Amino acid sequence: MDIRLDGRVALITGATGGIGAAITTEFFKSGATVIINGRTQEKIDALTDKLLTGGDKKDAARIGGIAMDLTALDSETNMIQRVIEKFNKLDILVNNAAQIDGRVIMRCDPDYVSRLMLINYRKPYQLTRNALAYMRKNRYGRIINITSVSGQCGDGGVSAYASSKAALHAFAQSISVEYGRYNITANSIAPGIVDTEALKAMSDEYKQNAKKLIPNNRFAKPSEIADLATFLASERAAYINGQQIAINGGLYR
C-alpha cells in the first residue's frame, strides 16, 4: 500500500524529540510539508538539515520551523497563525509535545498538576480548536494525539501524566463526533515504551524490568510510531475516527 501525503501541510509539536522527529521525517518523505515545532531553534535547524541531506534543494520549501514553548502566552493562536500565513492551510496536527515525568500522588501538588495539564492537555486542546477552524473550511483534517499506555491503564508514579493523556484522547473522541462530517478525523496513538532520549535517562535495572513485561521483549522504535501516524494522517485512514490505537508490543496490565 502506497501511503502519500503530497500537498498536505502538517504541524508537529515536539518535533525535535525522538517520536516527533521520526513522525516529521516520515511525513516529509511521504510528500507532506512539515512544520517543526520545538523549544530550541538549534534543534529545529538540525532536523531541517537532516531532512534535506542528499535531497533536492527545492524541498526546503516544504519545511517550516516554529521555535515556541507551548506554555508561552497565546502560543496556541500564534502557532496556527504562522502556519496559515506561510502555507495558507493546515491539514494535519500532531499533538506530540509533552511534559514526560512522574511523581507519586502525594507529591503531585496543585502547581505541578496545573503545569503538566497545561502542556499535555490544555494547550493541545486550544491548539487543536484553532486548527479545526481551518480544517473545516478545507473539508480535510487529521488530528493525531500521541498519548500513552499509562493513559489507557493508569500506572503508579505517573498519575498526573496518565490523566493528561486520558483527557487528550477523550477530546479526540469528542472531536470525532462533532467534526466527522467534515472529513476530519481525530485519533490517538498510545505507545508503550519507546526508545527515545527519555528512556536513555532510565537505569539499566528499570529497562530490564520493563522489558520483562513486554511480550515482544524490546522497546518500540520511534519509526514504528511514525509509520502508524503517517497512515492515520493519510486519505487511506478516512474511516478511522475517534480511536486510540495501542502500539506497545503486547504490553498489557
Ligand X SMILES: NC(=O)c1ccc[n+]([C@@H]2O[C@H](COP(=O)([O-])OP(=O)(O)OC[C@H]3O[C@@H](n4cnc5c(N)ncnc54)[C@H](OP(=O)(O)O)[C@@H]3O)[C@@H](O)[C@H]2O)c1
| Torsion sign over Cα 200, 114, 135, 65 | negative
Q: Which three cell numbers stand for residue 76?
A: 496556541
Strand spans (E) along the chain: 9-12, 33-38, 63-67, 92-95, 141-146, 184-191, 244-247
Residue closer to ligand X, measured from CB, 100 or 182: 100
In 3-state terms the chain splits into helix, strand, coil percentages (rounded to 5) of 50, 15, 30
How is 122-140 classified by DSSP, letter by letter? IHHHHHHHHHHHHHHHHT-
The interface region with ligand X, picked from 10-18, 48-56, 176-184, 200-208 by CB under 6 A, is 10-18
CB of 44 to ligand X, least distance (A): 8
Residue found under cell 462533532: 178
**Residue 161 annotated to the active site:** yes
The correct pick among 29, 31, 52, 69 for binding ligand X (CB under 6 A) is 69
Print the SS3 string covering 178-224: HHHHHCEEEEEEEECCECCHHHHCCCHHHHHHHHHCCCCCCCECHHH
- Contact string (CB under 6 A) for ligand X, positions 193-212, x = contact: xx-xxxx-------------
Residue closer to ligand X, measured from CB, 66 or 132: 66
State the Cα–Cα distance between residues 147 and 191, nearest whole angstrom. 7
Active-site option among 121, 134, 140, 161: 161
The correct pick among 23, 27, 35, 38 for binding ligand X (CB under 6 A) is 38
The correct pick among 5, 9, 10, 18 for binding ligand X (CB under 6 A) is 18
Residue closer to ligand X, measured from CB, 11 or 70: 70
Residue closer to ligand X, measured from CB, 102 or 242: 102
> Is residue 124 close enough to count as binding ligand X by CB under 6 A?
no
- Catalytic positions are 161
Residues in contact with ligand X by the rule CB under 6 A: 13-14, 16-20, 38-40, 43, 69-71, 96-100, 119, 146, 148, 191, 193-194, 196-199
